[in-house]
Chain A
């Protein structure tokens, strides 16, 4: 299918207001008379609550209400377990406001509602909570021991879930292997840290009984359902809108954060709008985090480096609660063999409670951890066998003729088989080898060493299961007055350019300019069948739903136009917002006219509408104006439900210079080859990849959420949690490879998370390669800081 807009670098349609500062982020939305929320949060990682005294706060000027768990009525519940799983034998979820116990520093204990945020914060300081602190264990391997202090008293060894998956016959593979490589790797906790913290505002109309909630969520439909259910309201009385949202990266797809329930509740209770604008400190101690995993991985290989089998046992830190289930660990475990055939796999994990901020997906969702583990292992295998690391990869990559490649026995996070649908893995590796100029680099590396400079080549290959179901839908209507195309989906956008790429898809079928396509999503009042924005699925699932709905509308347009122009449908062209017989553009009907004409009218509202009225020349007088089974207007709704995930992939390489005097590193070149199937808008794809790479560099070299031994956050601010500025992120060259996915009509795969997945491996392998002459110990822990590089070089070395 050759298309006009698909694949084009169409400039974004969302920018005009954003560059003017006219976006509508939640705190920008004027809410007359709104009250503001602040929380009293636990200062202890684990403690009994002995008493709470709110009296002074309640009496303070400017305070409207103070809530503890005793003031919540039907909201004093354990919040829903979102994704149950048979292996999740000890699910524990959070309460909106703590009752009897607190489980992490930052957990919400008391909610204050006041005239403004300044006053609300003042009031929180008047609230006296008496705690009895309990012992804690933050270290994962120690936390699973029999004698470790328990986060939840009835959960032995702090293990929430224990899951083993097998594909093929791993025991057999290990028995016949010539060589076994063992490695232990660790990835540390990070956080999404979107520039806009979370925010919720609510207004209850007691006359209509309607609850309006603005929530910076990636899942407005899911939030709506939960709110209706928990508050005991009809779903159609609850409207959730995600307006402009300043980044999500997974942190905002979780439900429910306490404020998402409490703010609407307070609005209903107090009869005034209520808003909660999370501050940065709260984002660090109250909003979800991710990444901590410790993998012990073994590869069973032939002496030629062909990997027959893989065993991986890992600990996954799930924080104080596990409402999101085992999704991240499951994604990690099913991505553990990466792009390699590895026909026999055994992967086992334990999800472990620690008294810390709960874990939910952060861009990558377990894939960065899995990629780090397998790629470090492949490098180690290459080293032990004396093979080149490109060559070892070449020998193991899934071959073009192997697709579709199924890993029998592994179920992905969507509950469906792991089946890699398509790809050209070998070609991608060739492309990066050529782009980086391996021979040239080898010479450059040697020359540098002679000068006492240390250059290294980092390399990391990743796979990314994308486009999860269960489904998404799209509704499209062409409006009769303006002729513009209105598209709705059940997603919400946090900057990914949905309004542009979905417009491109619709524009192709309907022959309009993308700027005449208006995408409205993130509003349960506009469309409320769907799931959410996460897991690199928007282009695949909503994109194809938009495509399918657009095909239906196209058919309606052609049908109606063929009547109006008295021409055969096959002879018609849709272009420039009009329909005309091919070669006769001057005799055209506009989409507005077609839309008007396809709606039998009694009352004309403009000149064009007159032709649709009951006595107009073209009107029929011999039966119902609207035939049985027909619908007025140009409108359709359709859905797309993927058969299983579509697997994108790619490979990154970087030339890194390490200064052993400072143990600092500098990127000399960063190259990325990626394949996300057919690209709808290459500019937007590159933006997603570049943003992912920047977060990847954060996770590889800078960002670690730190807790001390008592569970106190040590760097809950931007000064001490180091997110990279422009000076810390290199320029990246992005090379595209497009292997269409056979799984969906558009041939697309997701790309939202791609950039961040292999970066930890790229940095670790690059630094290791650079400092090989200095005898550096293996680098198997990210983020890799200069301090760690120093230690790996031997520590106390005299220069």
Chain B
């Protein structure tokens, strides 16, 4: 399973990378390669040119601010996973990353790469949706920011224009009195999830839910926000009944067809279970945060 022939360039600046991309339509960006290279080895992908962005130092920074974490496009997943400043600012990221593939893959894979790849079963796009994050992109005509909610169009498809490249991923820091949780069910450790749920729950002074953000991966053609599930929680007490209602509402977000490993009905069952469990955990953590 050897890859096909391709031209290979190693730009040393974002400008050069973006220019190379614009100049060759049949090109792909190579960051960590953990998603891309298997497709080349299988010869499912056959680009004329690979643009290796790993030499661009400007893409290797991590910045942890008061409200936002900014992760450059070439930051490896493992580096972000181990970064204590990121973890303090938003513990959800490490929890999600520990579910992404295996450590050996995270040593090379990048946060931005996984988000750009936009596999419907991937965990990081769901995390970006739940946190309300965004990506910074650059093109020959300039820069813009795309909010997570606008980014994912279909399985393996984002709404990046052909000449755009992600330069950084932005993730809000964890709000006060907020609990987090990520749980997925995969057949084997490290596999893509049959379903994964990301939950962020904020409590008000009365201990009721003032905000809930839920997202899922593996259940539709992209990672999705669980709007109906969120609606069941807002304003009220986060008791078992509310959690159960929310979990039940989350079922309807499953749109994937019956597959060998998972029928639609079974996926709905998984979503229900995982939503309950993530909400329970997020709620407990929120209460801990409130208490401290």
Q: In the complex, A touching B, CB below 8 Å? A: yes
Given contacts A722-B187, A727-B188, A785-B261, contact A790 B4 (CB under 8 A): no
Which residues of chain B from 272 to 292 have a CB within 8 Å of any chain A CB?
272-274, 276-277
Residues of B within 8 A of A724 (CB): 188
Return A63 CB to nearest CB of chain B, in Å: 15
Contact A790 B188 (CB under 8 A): no
Residues of B within 8 A of A577 (CB): none
Contact A662 B273 (CB under 8 A): yes
Contact A662 B261 (CB under 8 A): no
Residues of A within 8 A of B273 (CB): 661-662, 799
Return A39 CB to nearest CB of chain B, in Å: 13
Contact B5 A122 (CB under 8 A): yes
Contact B266 A790 (CB under 8 A): yes
Given contacts A790-B266, A799-B272, contact A279 B1 (CB under 8 A): yes
Contact B1 A702 (CB under 8 A): no
Contact B190 A799 (CB under 8 A): no
Contact B269 A790 (CB under 8 A): yes
Contact B263 A702 (CB under 8 A): no
Contact B260 A702 (CB under 8 A): no
Residues of A within 8 A of B248 (CB): 798
Contact A728 B189 (CB under 8 A): yes
Contact A728 B2 (CB under 8 A): no
Residues of B within 8 A of A714 (CB): 260
The residue on A at minimum CB distance from B183 is A662
Return B130 CB to nearest CB of chain A, in Å: 20
Residues of B within 8 A of A733 (CB): none
Does B270 interact with chain A (Cβ within 8 Å)?
A: yes
Return B46 CB to nearest CB of chain A, in Å: 9
Contact B263 A722 (CB under 8 A): no
The residue on B at minimum CB distance from A121 is B2
Does B182 interact with chain A (Cβ within 8 Å)?
A: no
Residues of B within 8 A of A619 (CB): none
SS of A interface (majority): loop
Docked pose: A722 CA to B190 CA in angstroms:
12
Complex interface bits, A656-700 against B, C-beta within 8 A gives 1, otherwise 0: 000001111000000000000000000000000000000000000
> Among A122, A125, A786, which residue has the most Cβ atoms of chain B within 10 A?
A786
Residues of A within 8 A of B1 (CB): 121, 279-281
Docked pose: A574 CA to B260 CA in angstroms:
63
Contact B2 A118 (CB under 8 A): yes
The residue on B at minimum CB distance from A36 is B2
Given contacts A118-B2, A706-B260, A785-B261, contact A662 B188 (CB under 8 A): no
Docked pose: A122 CA to B191 CA in angstroms:
31
Docked pose: A790 CA to B258 CA in angstroms:
13
Does A725 interact with chain B (Cβ within 8 Å)?
A: yes
Chain B contact-residue range equals 20 to 34
The residue on B at minimum CB distance from A796 is B265
Contact B260 A791 (CB under 8 A): no
Which residues of chain B from 251 to 271 have a CB within 8 Å of any chain A CB?
260-263, 265-266, 269-270
Residues of A within 8 A of B38 (CB): 719
Docked pose: A796 CA to B248 CA in angstroms:
12
Which residues of chain B from 37 to 83 have a CB within 8 Å of any chain A CB?
38, 42-43
Docked pose: A102 CA to B204 CA in angstroms:
68
The residue on A at minimum CB distance from B273 is A661
Does B185 interact with chain A (Cβ within 8 Å)?
A: yes
Contact A663 B266 (CB under 8 A): yes
Which residues of chain B from 180 to 219 have a CB within 8 Å of any chain A CB?
185, 187-191
Residues of B within 8 A of A663 (CB): 266, 269
Given contacts A662-B270, A790-B266, contact A281 B42 (CB under 8 A): yes
Return A307 CB to nearest CB of chain B, in Å: 36
Residues of B within 8 A of A661 (CB): 269, 273, 276-277
Contact B263 A787 (CB under 8 A): yes
Contact A790 B265 (CB under 8 A): yes
Complex interface bits, A783-799 against B, C-beta within 8 A gives 1, otherwise 0: 00111001100011111
Does A117 interact with chain B (Cβ within 8 Å)?
A: yes
Return B78 CB to nearest CB of chain A, in Å: 19
> Among B38, B43, B248, which residue has the most Cβ atoms of chain A within 10 A?
B43
Given contacts A785-B261, A786-B266, contact A662 B187 (CB under 8 A): no
Docked pose: A331 CA to B244 CA in angstroms:
52
Docked pose: A617 CA to B1 CA in angstroms:
68
> Among A121, A722, A786, A787, which residue has the most Cβ atoms of chain B within 10 A?
A787
Given contacts A122-B5, A662-B270, A663-B269, contact A787 B262 (CB under 8 A): yes
Residues of B within 8 A of A719 (CB): 38, 191
Return A774 CB to nearest CB of chain B, in Å: 13
Contact B266 A791 (CB under 8 A): yes
Contact B188 A702 (CB under 8 A): yes
Return B266 CB to nearest CB of chain A, in Å: 4
Docked pose: A281 CA to B187 CA in angstroms:
21
> Among A704, A727, A790, which residue has the most Cβ atoms of chain B within 10 A?
A790
Docked pose: A54 CA to B262 CA in angstroms:
42
Residues of A within 8 A of B42 (CB): 281, 717
The residue on B at minimum CB distance from A706 is B260
Contact B187 A702 (CB under 8 A): yes
Return A775 CB to nearest CB of chain B, in Å: 16
Residues of B within 8 A of A798 (CB): 248
Return A127 CB to nearest CB of chain B, in Å: 14
Which residues of chain A from 736 to 789 have a CB within 8 Å of any chain B CB?
785-787
Docked pose: A662 CA to B4 CA in angstroms:
41
Contact B2 A117 (CB under 8 A): yes
Residues of A within 8 A of B244 (CB): 799
Interface residues of A (CB under 8 A from B): 117-118, 121-122, 125, 279-281, 661-664, 702, 704, 706, 714-715, 717, 719, 722, 724-725, 727-728, 785-787, 790-791, 795-799
The 10 closest A-B pairs by CB, nearest first: A661-B273, A727-B189, A118-B2, A790-B266, A279-B1, A787-B266, A662-B185, A121-B2, A787-B262, A722-B187
24 A-B pairs within 8 Å (CB atoms) are namely: A121-B43, A122-B5, A125-B43, A280-B1, A661-B273, A661-B276, A662-B270, A662-B273, A663-B266, A663-B269, A715-B260, A719-B191, A722-B188, A725-B188, A727-B189, A786-B187, A786-B262, A786-B266, A790-B263, A790-B265, A790-B266, A791-B263, A797-B269, A799-B269
Q: Known contacts A661-B276, A722-B191, A786-B262; can you find 5 more A-B pairs with CB under 8 A?
A: A122-B5, A661-B269, A717-B42, A727-B189, A796-B265
